[in-house]
A and B are shown apart, each in its own frame.
Chain A
Amino acid sequence: MSQGATLAAARPALRRRAGSRTNLTSGSSLGLGIAVTWFSLLVLIPLAALVATAAGGGWDEYIKTLTNEQTLAALKLTVGQSFVVTAINVVIGTTIAWVLVRDQFFGKRILDVIIDIPFALPTIVAGLVLLTLYGKGSPLGLEWANTELSVPLALAFVTLPFVVRTVQPVLEELDADVEEAAASLGAGRVTIFRRLILPSLAPAIAAGAALSFARAIAEYGSLVLLSGNLPFHTEVVSVRVLSFIEGGNTAAAASVATVMLAVALIVIVALDLVQGWVARRG
């Protein structure tokens, strides 16, 4: 019985498919309803509450919170160090991707797995891990914990995989014939890299850089133990938000958090534009 009923129900549904804006069945509508409700309760309404709370005090209060000397220092430090670390990742990440794709040596597979460790490692563990080598009693004599260097160190650790993992697949797909043709026509290695390889990798590098920048701005866990959270020196913006929350000043916390949220949204839009650019270039 049920089969006949389904077939009968399916036929008009198939016919409808051509013109209508939706092809949802009753079951999938229910699924969509539940999923969207959950997504709203979990993500959309809380983020809306964040923006509403930040706006609640009015524009003057918002600007006053953001231009507070200590908050401004935290914002400057976070944005500045995120740019520095992203620049490091662009150079080193591309190099690592190149080594992983074009070079052959013993242990390459292990290097490939180690690249993913910062993705998987809990951030608080990442901070502790870095303390063993760059903290008090460092085996290298580099006691960077609680100094200005602790911030880029932690950020470099957690953002390491982004550029590598976006550039690696593009480099694998790159057509070696074109490079050989260029070489046989007399192009030098530097010319081939600059004129052929780099332009093909540019969108992937840009995407990796954007992801790495967003992650660096957002980072909290790995810095808690490592940086010492010294105001004006090593206090990043996420730590600033947390100290506002712990002090009960959720309005100020929300104001600073909207800046972080805005950066996250800008990066998502930028990534979308980069992907559109790649799609158009074919």
Chain B
Amino acid sequence: MVKVSTPVRWLLRLVALGYVFLLVAWPVALIVQHTFANGFATLSETLSDPHVQHALLLTAQVAFWAVLINTVFGVTISLLLVRYRFPGKKVLSALIDVPLSVSPVVVGLSLLLVYNGRTGWFGPTLEAHGLQVIFNSPAMIMATCFVALPLVIREVVPVLTEIGDDQEQAARSLGANARQTLWRITLPSIKWAVIYGVVLSLARSVGEFGAVKIVSGNFTGQTQTATLMVEAQYQNFEHDQAYATSFILAAVSVICIVVVSLLRPKEQHS
């Protein structure tokens, strides 16, 4: 490898570190500093607010269901895309990536147009049968599912492609049925890919803001998630509470990425 001269190397290092420090590291550190400026007082005071408790609980519930649905859907689609042939496979494979680059605002609006109870395509029919989607948890779960949809698939598909189906064919020729092959051979071999996908989906689901804001109605104490709470707190000049709630959300997401970055190399060695 060709070495660059020492001054150039220092210059590049300085540019990279300086940029990341000013843009990410320092601001994130300031949030932590603001949250703990009075010790744990701000944090515990914020956490004792019933509205904040409700918002955090709601975020946890929505994220749980969205991650569960996306994991089951993601593993199913990945298996179908890698192991089976069917008409329209290429199109489906291309469409799966669409949610990743669609704006959360567009996601929220699209769901609103189909599922709102007055003028939506399906909304009035569903509401006549007692299922309110928009301004209720189903829409919030759907919006979260939409934005995090490809994350599990993008982790699982490369692994499934790489391991091939030799072991599965061996199991089948030794008399294992489809279910046994799936549970004993296929799923254990993609375990880590699924775990990465779940962790990344969790971080994305906990943090969803724009799409949920549109479909939830943002009613305090009812459909207000933690990210919506942060906006409301900041706009009501409850800056300390906004920092504390943000800190909790940031902690969850940063723990998620640290977990993934710690797990990844370990898996490569084994």
Of the stretches A63-71, A199-207, A219-227, the one at the interface is: A219-227
Of the stretches B15-23, B38-46, B48-56, B183-191, the one at the interface is: B15-23
Closest chain B residue to A157, Cβ basis: B23
Q: Contacts of B102 on A, CB cut-off 8 Å? A: 47, 218, 260-261, 264
Q: Contacts of B120 on A, CB cut-off 8 Å? A: 49
Closest chain A residue to B115, Cβ basis: A46
Is A143 part of the contact surface with B, judged by Cβ < 8 Å?
Answer: no
Report yes or no: B97 in contact with A49, Cβ–Cβ below 8 A: no
Q: Contacts of B4 on A, CB cut-off 8 Å? A: 102, 189
How many angstroms from the CA of A21 to the CA of B84 in the assembled complex? 10
Question: A99-B12, A124-B209, A261-B102 given as contacts; is B87 within 8 A of A21 (CB)?
Answer: yes
Q: Contacts of A28 on B, CB cut-off 8 Å? A: 79-80, 84
Residue contacts A-B, CB under 8 angstroms, 13 given: A39-B77, A47-B110, A99-B13, A99-B17, A102-B4, A122-B246, A122-B249, A125-B230, A133-B30, A160-B24, A218-B101, A221-B227, A245-B112
Tell me the minimal C-beta distance from B91 to chain A in angstroms: 11
Is A87 part of the contact surface with B, judged by Cβ < 8 Å?
Answer: no
Q: For the complex, would chain A's binding face be called helix, strand, loop or mixed by DSSP majority?
A: helix
Report yes or no: B85 in contact with A238, Cβ–Cβ below 8 A: no
How many angstroms from the CA of A272 to the CA of B95 in the assembled complex? 12
Closest chain A residue to B209, Cβ basis: A221
Q: Contacts of A220 on B, CB cut-off 8 Å? A: 103-105, 209-210
Question: A129-B246, A241-B105, A241-B106 given as contacts; is B15 within 8 A of A95 (CB)?
Answer: yes
Report yes or no: A224 in contact with B231, Cβ–Cβ below 8 A: yes
Question: A23-B84, A42-B149 given as contacts; is B242 within 8 A of A245 (CB)?
Answer: no
Is B156 part of the contact surface with A, judged by Cβ < 8 Å?
Answer: no
How many angstroms from the CA of A264 to the CA of B100 in the assembled complex? 9
Question: A42-B149, A242-B105 given as contacts; is B257 within 8 A of A92 (CB)?
Answer: no
Question: A92-B15, A125-B230 given as contacts; is B210 within 8 A of A115 (CB)?
Answer: no
Q: How many interface residues does chain B have, given as a range? A: 35 or more
How many angstroms from the CA of A218 to the CA of B228 in the assembled complex? 18
Report yes or no: B109 in contact with A128, Cβ–Cβ below 8 A: no
A-facing residues in B231-263 (Cβ within 8 Å)? 231, 234-235, 242-243, 246, 249-250, 253-254, 256-258, 261
Is B76 part of the contact surface with A, judged by Cβ < 8 Å?
Answer: yes
B-facing residues in A27-68 (Cβ within 8 Å)? 27-28, 31-32, 34-36, 38-39, 42-47, 49-50, 53
A6, A49, A221, A268: the one within 8 Å of B101 (CB): A268
Q: Contacts of B5 on A, CB cut-off 8 Å? A: 189
Closest chain A residue to B179, Cβ basis: A27
Q: Contacts of B119 on A, CB cut-off 8 Å? A: 250
User: Which 9 pairs from chain A and chain B are nearest by CB?
Assistant: A122-B207, A218-B103, A46-B110, A176-B1, A132-B30, A120-B253, A221-B209, A264-B101, A49-B113
Report yes or no: A268 in contact with B172, Cβ–Cβ below 8 A: no
Report yes or no: B19 in contact with A92, Cβ–Cβ below 8 A: yes
Tell me the minimal C-beta distance from B111 to chain A in angstroms: 5
Residues of A within 8 A of B (CB): 2-3, 6-7, 10, 21-25, 27-28, 31-32, 34-36, 38-39, 42-47, 49-50, 53, 92, 95-96, 98-100, 102-103, 105, 111-125, 128-130, 132-134, 139, 153, 156-157, 160, 176, 179-180, 182-183, 189, 192, 211, 214-215, 217-221, 224-225, 238, 241-242, 245, 250, 253-254, 257, 260-261, 264-265, 267-268, 272
A10, A113, A119, A121 — most chain B CB neighbours (10 Å): A121
Closest chain A residue to B169, Cβ basis: A14
Report yes or no: A132 in contact with B31, Cβ–Cβ below 8 A: yes
Q: Contacts of B12 on A, CB cut-off 8 Å? A: 95, 98-99, 103
A-facing residues in B49-79 (Cβ within 8 Å)? 69, 73, 76-77, 79
Closest chain A residue to B105, Cβ basis: A238
Is B270 part of the contact surface with A, judged by Cβ < 8 Å?
Answer: no
Is B219 part of the contact surface with A, judged by Cβ < 8 Å?
Answer: no
Tell me the minimal C-beta distance from B175 to chain A in angstroms: 5
A2, A105, A116, A189: the one within 8 Å of B261 (CB): A116
Closest chain A residue to B258, Cβ basis: A113
Q: Contacts of B23 on A, CB cut-off 8 Å? A: 153, 156-157, 160
